[in-house]
Amino acid sequence: MQYRKFGRLDFKVSALGFGAMRLPMKEGKINEEEATHMLRYAIDHGVNYVDTAYPYHDETSEGFVGRALQDGYREKVKVATKLPVWLVNDYADLDKFLHLQLERLQMEYVDFYLLHSLNRESWRKMQNLSVLDWAEKAMADGYFRHLGFSFHGAYEEFVEIIDAYDWEMCQIQYNYMDVQNQAGVKGLKYAAQKGIAVVIMEPLLGGHLVEPPQVIQEIWDQAKNKRTPAGWGLHWLWNQPEVSTVLSGMSTMEQVKENVALAASSGLGILSPEELALYDRVRAKYQELTAIPCTQCRYCMPCPQGVDIPENFKNYNDAIMFNKAEAARGKYDWWRYAYEVQKSRETDTRAVNCVQCRLCESKCPQQIPISKWMPTVAAVMGEGKPFVSRLE
């Protein structure tokens, strides 16, 4: 196993972290025997960072992690879990969730406690509840050692949160396709230059990058060094000094063994200029597969109805690029859930709420007929209608 700096902390983290979000299932529940075997194999082969969260696996992931880390394994790893900020309604809830999570984990403390899935709205909510003052007290009382946050929002929101506190770590979605999405490469570098450890999630875009279409595989096949799709994705991240560790949510022992072996061969600067150029070609080829020529510039925003136009277009394009229609429809429905149930979004950002006012169209540099695309996106994502690559 290779180890890397973890920001300014006196801790060397394994290049690969174990994410407990996509564990093997059996009869609708975590297959604990297999999952425990997987987690302990990873630790026995050098993995020293384990990540879980309150909602993972219908709120059973933390309990599994606590049981799997018995028999001396807890002492071999750093453990991170996350506060479900969307469920926090008052100051007392902060203590309630923390202590419930520690009870599930069977731990007196966790090493890293993260505010889960921050964006501008959820960060405002946490600020109003004085979460930073609470966290300082909880750390002083010994319930967790370090405070961090995971992030799903725009770059400008990321910078605002980073600058609001002396964070020691953060977790971002980042991969060779998401260089400009969410925090992106700018956010990665901004955090790292402040000495903040950056943990990477979705390194393979939720599995989208492990089964490339033939036109993509043909580009990878031109490389002298042959790698699996997972290898190309993970080594691109490990090649960057700002990346502290890469979380992988593994579902099979085969995935664990492959990723552990890849991490053992990882390092800074191991990709040649010719190989790095392949990533640019792959990214461009994927983008050629899109239906809507949206560049995510966000000039069309804000929408008076609260619709996140670029987010809807990206989800639609991703479904076509990666041939993942059901995953995209699931994400679209999650936006509804986040607004109606979790209350973690101030508006319902789905395309179905577009009223075709066309105020956005005059702002679009790509001259996209947004008011015509939105009903199509809503029908495909919300009603299961067939995808189209161009409007009639």
First to last CA, the chain: 54
DSSP 8-state secondary structure symbol assigned to residue 21: T
Q: What is the mean pLDDT of residues 66-95?
A: 96
What gap in Å lies between CA 189 and CA 334, rounded to an integer? 30
290 has a pLDDT exceeding 90: no
Identify the band that residue 194 occupies on the pLDDT scale cut at 50, 70 and 90. very high
Report pLDDT digits (tens) over 143-175.
999 999 999 888 999 999 999 999 999 999 999
Please report which residue ranges of the chain form alpha helices under DSSP H: 32-44, 56-59, 61-68, 91-105, 120-128, 131-140, 155-162, 184-193, 214-220, 229-238, 253-264, 273-288, 309-321, 325-337, 370-383
Distances in whole angstroms, Cα of residue 310 to Cα of each of 301, 330, 358: 8, 17, 15
344 has a pLDDT exceeding 80: no
Longest dimension (CA), the chain: 63
Report pLDDT digits (tens) over 345-381.
889 999 999 999 999 998 887 889 999 999 999 999 9
295 has a pLDDT exceeding 80: no
How, if at all, do strands 110-118 and 144-151 pair?
parallel
What gap in Å lies between CA 149 and CA 171, rounded to an integer? 6
Question: φ and ψ at 126, to 5 degrees?
Answer: -65, -40
Report pLDDT digits (tens) over 103-116.
999 999 999 999 99
What gap in Å lies between CA 91 and CA 95, rounded to an integer? 8
pLDDT for the residue 362: 87
For residue 234, give the amino acid letter: L
| Exposed / middle / buried, residue 42 (Cβ in 10 Å: 0-12, 13-18, 19+) | buried
Token representation of residue 328: 């995209």
Q: If one looks up domain 3-279 in CATH, what number appears? A: 3.20.20.100
- Indicate the domain borders of the chain: 3-279, 291-383
> Out of 190-199, 235-244, 294-303, which region has the weakest mean confidence (pLDDT)?
294-303
Q: What is the pTM of this model?
A: 0.85
What gap in Å lies between CA 95 and CA 113, rounded to an integer? 12
Mean pLDDT of the chain: 94
| Exposed / middle / buried, residue 6 (Cβ in 10 Å: 0-12, 13-18, 19+) | buried
What gap in Å lies between CA 245 and CA 126, rounded to an integer? 26
Report pLDDT digits (tens) over 20-69.
999 999 999 999 999 999 999 999 999 999 999 999 998 999 999 999 99
Close Cβ partners of 227 (under 8 Å, ≥ 6 residues apart): 220, 235
DSSP 8-state secondary structure symbol assigned to residue 75: G
pLDDT for the residue 121: 87
Contact assessment for residue 213 and residue 287, using Cβ atoms and an 8 Å cutoff: no
Tokens 């690969």 belong to residue: 16
Helix (H) or strand (E) holding 9: strand 9-14
DSSP 8-state secondary structure symbol assigned to residue 185: H
Token representation of residue 134: 């609470």
pLDDT for the residue 252: 96
Closest CA to 178 of 63, 321, 62: 321
For residue 88, give the amino acid letter: V
For residue 279, give the amino acid letter: Y
